[in-house]
Amino acid sequence: MKRHRSIGAMLILLLLSGCAAPLRKIDVARDAFATGDLDKSHTTFSELAQSRRRFGDAAALDLAMVELARGDAAAAEARLRKLRDQFDALPKVAPLHETAAIITDDTARAYQPAGYEQVMIRAMLAVCSLATGGEDAESYAIQAAMRQNELADEAGKRGLASASETYQPIALAPYLRGVLREATHHDYDDAVRAYELVTSVEPNFAPAHADVVRASVGAHSAPGHGVLYVIACVGRGPVLEQVDAPTTSSAMQIASAVINVQANEKGGESRAMALPNIATVKVPQVMIPPSNAVAVGVRSGGVGIGVTQTLTDVAELAKRQVAAEMPWTIARAVIRRATKETTVAMTGNQLGLSGAAGSLFQFAVASAWGSVENADTRCWGLLPREIQVLRVELPVGDHEISLHSLGMRGEPMGMGVTKQVTMVDGHNEYMIVIAPDQMIYRVN
């Protein structure tokens, strides 16, 4: 029986090792998105999303961003809503996937988006809703805030000392709530509280201080004016890359605690796995692809009326949360290595290998088995680096609004986009744009 298990483990290892081709396709599709080839990006992500393979769900998240950039905000919203519900329904532990992950690596697990991605699904749902009329935007914004709070509570229960700081509220959620409450012309108290939260969690977003003052006196906009909000997804956002990480003492403590619990659940077997003596393991680390776009410049009738400012730094959010989870990520890799070394030792005993021959067999097979592990770098790679906002009051009537990606020195880059907007007295207009680099996409 144990020999069959060992043979099965090797077969599963071979079956689950084909990661390179989908990863290359994903990288090519993301580059195509950044450089303006939406058709190529859409085709590739559609194929991967429909393949029902391990990369399908992560590709579907990227596909939603491509749909949004193409101007189909309704399709993007429907896809993100479906994925949100699907991810929420996933069990905390899937035994078959967990077993496969121990035999191979974490890429065998069902894809579960990272905490920051779960929050951003809800945040981007709010953005999609604004592009199609805003009916559910406030509800989605509240969901984003609630999910971040839940993540903070879960991290605190696991003993993360900086949980409240690591999982502090994202400013986009209360900001959108403030904007939408203020637009009612009577829920100004709610708007003030929302804007005050923005100033607390994102003090560098200077416009929020003016928002607090304006909402406090109940003045949505000057008479004869409407308000234009430009919400921009700027830069190329966080992706995951494989790196070798040292096995820290905190990670080894977590791994040891898990192994002890497993041994106790099996009746306190005397043959508990020993932690391997390894210096590094393969883990995913956040990397931000290069992008020259730093903001979006906005003009009305050829005259500059403002530049978007950072409201939520998605890249920093991802770095902070992935780093906070790293001890648990390393611990999983250590436990996996311990399981493999134990399995190899048992196989050597079954084959009658002992002494120098047994040691050589164990070292060679365990090293080969461990060398083909891959860190789980599946992620939502088309998130923006930052979500930026510009609020500007314009007189009622028609305006030609043009937008450009801005470079490091504030210079316009690439081909801009233009849209005619009609401002209505006391009403909000929302323009959603995506500027991954020099290319800029107008959503609505």
**152-161 pLDDT, tens digit each:** 999 888 888 7
Contact 282, 104 (CB under 8 A): no
Q: What pLDDT does residue 12 have?
A: 43
Q: What pLDDT does residue 54 have?
A: 83
Structural domain harbouring 75: 2-442
User: What pTM value is reported for the model?
Assistant: 0.86
d(CA 328, CA 333): 9
Q: What pLDDT does residue 280 have?
A: 85
* CATH code (residue 155): 1.25.40.10
pLDDT, tens only, 41-60: 999 999 999 986 788 999 99
Q: What pLDDT does residue 374 have?
A: 79
Our count of domains for the chain comes to: 1
pLDDT class of 372 with cuts at 50, 70, 90: low
pLDDT, tens only, 205-257: 999 999 999 999 999 999 999 999 999 999 999 999 999 999 888 887 887 77
User: β-strand 225-234 against 428-435: which pairing, if any?
Assistant: parallel
For residue 420, the tally of other CB atoms under 10 A from its CB is 8
d(CA 268, CA 84): 40
Q: Which residue has the higher pLDDT, 442 or 96?
A: 442
d(CA 327, CA 150): 20
With H, G, I as helix, E, B as strand and everything else as coil, classify residue 187: coil
Region 198-203 average pLDDT = 95
User: β-strand 397-406 against 412-423: which pairing, if any?
Assistant: antiparallel
> CA dihedral defined by 67, 69, 74, 78, rounded to 10 degrees?
50
- Nearest 5°: the CA angle 171, 111, 155 is 50
DSSP β-bridge partners for residue 403: 298, 417
Enter the tokens of residue 175: 């900001």
pLDDT, tens only, 425-442: 999 999 999 999 999 999
Region 188-195 average pLDDT = 97
Tokens 């599709």 correspond to 29
Helix 115-131 crosses helix 73-89 at what angle (to 10 degrees)?
150
With H, G, I as helix, E, B as strand and everything else as coil, classify residue 234: strand
> CA dihedral defined by 38, 87, 100, 92, rounded to 10 degrees?
160
> Is the per-residue pLDDT at 384 higher than 50?
yes
How big is the chain, counted in residues? Answer: 444
**Arithmetic mean of pLDDT over the chain:** 85
Of the candidates 72, 34, 414, 58, the one whose C-alpha atom is nearest the C-alpha of residue 240 is: 58
Contact 363, 92 (CB under 8 A): no
> CA dihedral defined by 152, 155, 156, 162, rounded to 10 degrees?
-80
